[in-house]
Amino acid sequence: MNKTVNINLASTFFHIDENAYSVLKNYLSKLKIAFKNTPGSEEILQDIETRIAELFQEAKKHPDYVINEEDVQKVITILGQPEDMDTEEAFESVEKESTASSKKLFRDPEDKYIGGVLSGLGYYFAIDSTWLRILWFIATLFSGGALILLYVLLWALIPLAKTTADKLKMKGEPVNIANIEKKIKEEFDDVSSRLKDIDYKKASDSVKKKSKKFFNFVEELILLIPKIIFRVLGVIFLFIAIIGFVSVVLGWTSALFFSSLHWPFAFYLFNLNWTPSLFLSIAFLFFILIPFLFLFFLGLRLLSSKASKLGSTVRNSLAVLWLITLVVLVGFGAHEIRSNSVKATKEVSHDLVLRKTDTLRIMQKSEVFNQHQEKWVFKNTNVIKDPNSNSWWIDKKLKLRIESTESPMPTLLIKKSAHGYDPQEAQKHADEIRYQWNQEENTLLLNTQWKLAYSEKFHNQDVELVVQLPEGNTIYIDPSLKGYLAYPTANDQGYRSSKTAGHYWIMGNRELECLDCESTSKSIELHYQQEDQQKEFHLKVDENGVQINRK
């Protein structure tokens, strides 16, 4: 017994039995899918339906005739299956679309450990998911677990490839009947071959087969080695490239916006204004980033020959851009070197008003800067912006030394030096250094920082201080100056210059003699005579004690 269905095909009425109906319906929906992307598909389907109606009309032997399955099959044979029809164009257009843009990101339910996220990503970037997993695992270890969060996020955001069409889209294969059928067949074959495998394994337990298998395995392994090396290199490259890229970008942006270490600010000091300095720092950024980018794509290529390749236009323009940045940076460097090629020094000498018997105390004096002042560090030099005086404070390790002099008065010698394009320019830059010091009674306050006007740029400026002491004068070096005594100072104790701080010294014949040092192996003699020879003072300190003669 069979149920009969009434259908209306191209405005013609037919009785059709249930089986025939389902076959016909199936056929029509298959056609609908096949012509989905063909222009005018509705019209084509309408024409085909009309033709089916005509053929049914021919088959109808009497008005009450019920169309059966055999009739439907005959009609299908005449009209043909969709793959035999001219739907090639449709296939082509789908294929183009799929490879170009319609590859979609899905989670892969077939090859998964947790959520199938990496497997899906692997298809998307055309990389073997195993390598992606290894990379992800290493990166997770390094990221301190942050990538776990990212994984969960991706898991939640990326849809699961549920249907066969989704799976094809995930793999970037065109979604058409042939491929869907192929895919379903593959899945079926997979199951059936697994079933077959079980039987085969049972049957092939002999030693011979096992050994053969073993050698096949070894052969495969040997063939695999270069592949593995390439892949491992690929993973390493990718890893370096990603870490490098991210850290450079983060470093650059944070340097630009947040930290005291301003790139453009730094360049501001290099004879450049704001815009060219920003431009230069961007050139610098690209100079570093582009090699990382190439490394990234090289890594991808090593992982998979199918991985997305850099287009030749993109590649060439990146290479050109890199060369441009190189030229810019080299040009800038050359300019800097040339503009600082000659050195000039300016010496200023100040007599210190002091009685011969007074001890000259030298002390450090520093500016106090608040935390909010813009500050920048370059080669052991702190540069602090001082908007009050429109100048930079240069806080650099100032060089100080103590020398003997022939002149009767102690003097402070300030040696300012700078570099420039030519001697005149260098001299001009040296003149522009503003050094501040002052004397309060017998105390000499030496500033450890010096100033440059905003208009003065970096010219390798330097300041050196020399305290010149006549023979017989005493000096006390305050411990605050300990770090600034850079040059060896001749002394009878053989101290390093920094160790001379915190002691009283008397200038002897070309070298300092300690007055309060622990070591007493040497004797100290002090002789003072007034000009009219009426008063005389003689002091002698040695291992025998202190001897004082006065007149």
Partner 1 sequence: MNLENTTAQMRKGILEFCILSLIAGRDLYSSDILEALKKGKMLVVEGTVYPLLTRLKNADLLQYRWEESTSGPPRKYYSITSKGETFLAELKSAWDELNKAVTSITKK
User: Applying CB under 8 A, which of residues 18, 70, 86, 358 lies at the interface with partner 1?
Assistant: 86
335: tokens are 């300019």
Asked if residue 135 lies in contact with residue 303, where contact means CB atoms within 8 angstroms, the answer is no
What is the rounded distance in angstroms from the CA atom of residue 539 to the CA atom of residue 67? 141
Alpha-carbon distance of 500 to 507, in angstroms, equals 13
State which H helix or E strand residue 37 sits in: none
One of 11, 275, 380, 533 touching partner 1 (CB under 8 A): 11
Binder among 85, 283, 329, 413 for partner 1 (CB under 8 A): 85
Q: What 3-state DSSP class applies to 506? A: strand
Q: Which of 24, 31, 132, 466 binds partner 1 (CB under 8 A)?
A: 31
From CA 7, how far away is CA 28, in angstroms rounded? 13
Query: Is 423 a residue that touches partner 1 (CB under 8 A)?
Result: no
Distances (CA, A) of 412 to 2, 205, 248: 122, 99, 47
Q: Is 92 in the site for partner 1 (CB under 8 A)?
A: no
- Closest approach, Cβ 82 to partner 1, in A, equals 7
Q: Is 291 helix (H, G, I), strand (E, B) or coil?
A: helix
User: Binding to partner 1 by residue 16, rule CB under 8 A?
Assistant: no
Report, in Å, the least distance between residue 45 CB and partner 1.
8
Residue 36 or 399 having the CB closest to partner 1: 36
Please give the order of strands across the beta sheet that includes 462-470. Answer: 342-351, 411-420, 462-470, 399-405
* Nearest CB to partner 1, comparing residues 51 and 133: 51
Q: Decide if residue 191 touches partner 1 (CB under 8 A).
A: no
Q: Which is nearer to partner 1, 43 or 181 (CB)?
A: 43
Strands 359-365 and 12-17: unpaired
Find the binding residues for partner 1 in span 312-341 (CB under 8 A): none
Number of residues that bind partner 1 (CB under 8 A): 30
Using CB under 8 A, pick the residue from 78, 149, 377, 548 that binds partner 1. 78
CB of 75 to partner 1, least distance (A): 9
Q: Say how far apart CA 299 and CA 297 lie, in whole Å.
A: 5
x/- site string to partner 1, residues 37 to 76, per CB under 8 A? -xxx--xx--xx-xx-xx--x-------------------
Closest to partner 1 by CB, 49 or 425:
49
Alpha carbons 357 and 355: distance in angstroms, whole number: 5
Question: Which pair of tokens denotes residue 379?
Answer: 């080669």
Residues making contact with partner 1 (CB under 8 A): 9-12, 31, 35, 38-40, 43-44, 47-48, 50-51, 53-54, 57, 77-82, 84-89
